[in-house]
Every structure is written in structure tokens, then in C-alpha cells.
Amino acid sequence: MPAGEYNPMLAEAFMSFGDRLGLAGVILTFVGIAIAILWPSKRWTGWVSLGMAVIMIFGWVWFERDTFLSWPLQFSKTHPLASSIAVFICVGLTAAVPWFRFVNRPPKVGVKVVPEPPVVPRQSLYFSLTQLPREDSVMFLDIPLGSGESFYRFQMMNSGADALDIQVALDMPALLARAPIIISNSGTENLVVKAAFSGYTRTTPQKGTERISGLSNVVVIEIPRFRQLGVVDVAVVTGQMKERQLIWATAPDGAIYIGVSPLYGRFGALSIKRGTKDVHSFAVEFPAVGRNLIDTAKELRPWSRSVLQPLTQDELIQAGKDGVNIKIDQYFQ
């Protein structure tokens, strides 16, 4: 075959321009899917893909212009009214999109970005309540333990920055047998350690109304300033735990109820207040010699208390049988 002469077999061996355009569209589709999955944050790749799609649409329309133009012209000749309505709808939609997108856009409401407050490291207070053997108490007590009494040691340490206005309410598992004793303290100013009282009124026809009070199970500690690496060590002596001892306790929902100890699964409570609003409470577990009775991993509702009363349920029932009117004070310190 002479050079330059048209060969139909050779022409069919090559792809037409339309075939190349279709293959490019398929490739572009897969590339767009890959970009959306692998680089979702790259917005410019999306605009590139959209631009290529628009170019391909225009190319398709250009190569099929005879087919695209013949059908609308034929339809407009046979259906003039319908074709006019269709043109009006298309033009209206085309004009409405930019109008609502740009012209009729509602004004932007200014949003003021408030920077987050700096993170201030919290003071780290470590505390423990341990019941010690009776023989260990002779090193700290001038008066030996009596029958049925138990010896506890409550310790606090501040491993963080200086802390101000610390108040501690320690509700022991039994009523106090004597006032708490400061074993040692360092890094504190104006430390106050004291016991709280509880009581009730007893009314009989013979003696009238009389008030009976005594030490409760509450130890109150006040530290106006607790310096870094400061330590507070307090000795606490309690009486014998009684069965069915009456107790005022804070429920999980915050309500205060009177019941029989142990109530809500705890034998006491520890509440620590730092400043004006920072309050944390923890449960005191069943007394066992040699282990920390405060479980810091199980935090209670703030200001959860367990305050024992100098009465048992049996004594209250017997007083009712004897015609004695008992009124128990609800007093949390």
C-alpha cells in the first residue's frame, strides 16, 4: 500500500477521541474516589476533580452537538408552548441559585471566640486512714487504749503547690472515745484539729426533757494554709463499733436520711474542701488493721457524710416501748 493512503484496518486499531475521553472519565472517577478516601482534608483536589468533570461535560456536548441540538430544535417546532415553559423554568432556576447563594444571604453573626482558660495544675493532696495494732498506740498515746477501743492514724500530705483554706471532715467507723491528737505537722499555718459532737433529746413524764450529747464520730481539720510538701499526722481513738448504730448519711442523690450503720455500703466518709467550691468525698471502708480505709478510686457525691448518733436502733425501739420520746438532732459539721 502506498505511503499516505488511508487504511481502514489500521484506523480501527487505534482508539477514537471519544473512546479516549470515556476512558479518561473512568480514570478520573477512580482517582476522585481515591483522593476522597486517602486525602479527605485536601480541598483543592476536589476542585481539580470538579473542574476536570466540567471540561469533560463540555467536550462531550461539543462532540455530540449535532445530536444535542437536533432534538431540542425538533421539539420546539412541534411543541412551542411546552418548550417555552421549559426554557423559563431553566432560566429561573439558573438565576435563583446565585441569588439565594450570594445576594440574599443572611448577614453573618459575629462569633466571639473566647479562649479557654489556662490549665492550672491542681494541688495534689494525698491522705490515708489506717487502723494500727493496739501495741503501736503506746508510741503516740499518753493514756493506753481502753477495752474495745481502736487506734487510727490519719495522714495528709500536699505534694503540689501551696493550698489555701482546706477543711476536712473525717467520719470514723465508730464514735470517738477521746479528742483527736496531733502527732506531727509541718508546712501548715494555724492548724486546727477538733472533734464534733452529736446528741438527742429524751422526754419522759417523770424527768421532762433532757439533752444527751457526746463525741460523735467526726474529726474536723482546718488548715488555712498548707504549704508544698506539708504533712499532717493525727491520731484518732474510737470506741467499740455497735451493731445497728443510728446514723445520718448522705444518699447518692444528695438527700440526707437516718438509718442503721453501715448505710449505702460505707462505714464512714471523708470530705475535703479546698477554697470555696472544690469539694471531694470518699467512702471509708470496713476497718481492717494495716490497710488504708479510704478508697480514692471511688469518689462519692460532694459533701457525702456518715455521722453516727449515740443511739442504737434497739435502744430507740426500747425507748418507744417505755413511753420515752426521742428526738435526734441532725447536725453535720
Q: What is the pLDDT of residue 117?
A: 41
Q: What is the pLDDT of residue 205?
A: 83
- Model confidence at 51: pLDDT above 80: no
Q: Give pLDDT tens digits for 116-138.
A: 444 334 447 888 999 999 999 88
- Stretch 260-269: mean pLDDT, rounded? 90
pTM over 0.75: no
| CA–CA distances in Å: residue 205 to residues 42, 201, 209, 318, 324 | 89, 13, 9, 16, 8
**Residue 158 buriedness (CB in 10 A; 0-12 / 13-18 / 19+):** buried
Q: What is the pLDDT of residue 123?
A: 47
DSSP string, 106-148: PPPPP---PPPPPPPPPP-EEEEEEEEPGGGGGGT-SS---TT
Task: Give me the half-sphere count of Cα atoms (radius 13 Å) on the Cβ side of residue 180.
Answer: 30
- Model confidence at 181: pLDDT above 80: yes
Q: What is the pLDDT of residue 79?
A: 66
177/212: higher pLDDT: 177
Predicted confidence band at 206 (pLDDT cuts at 50, 70, 90)? confident
161/79: higher pLDDT: 161
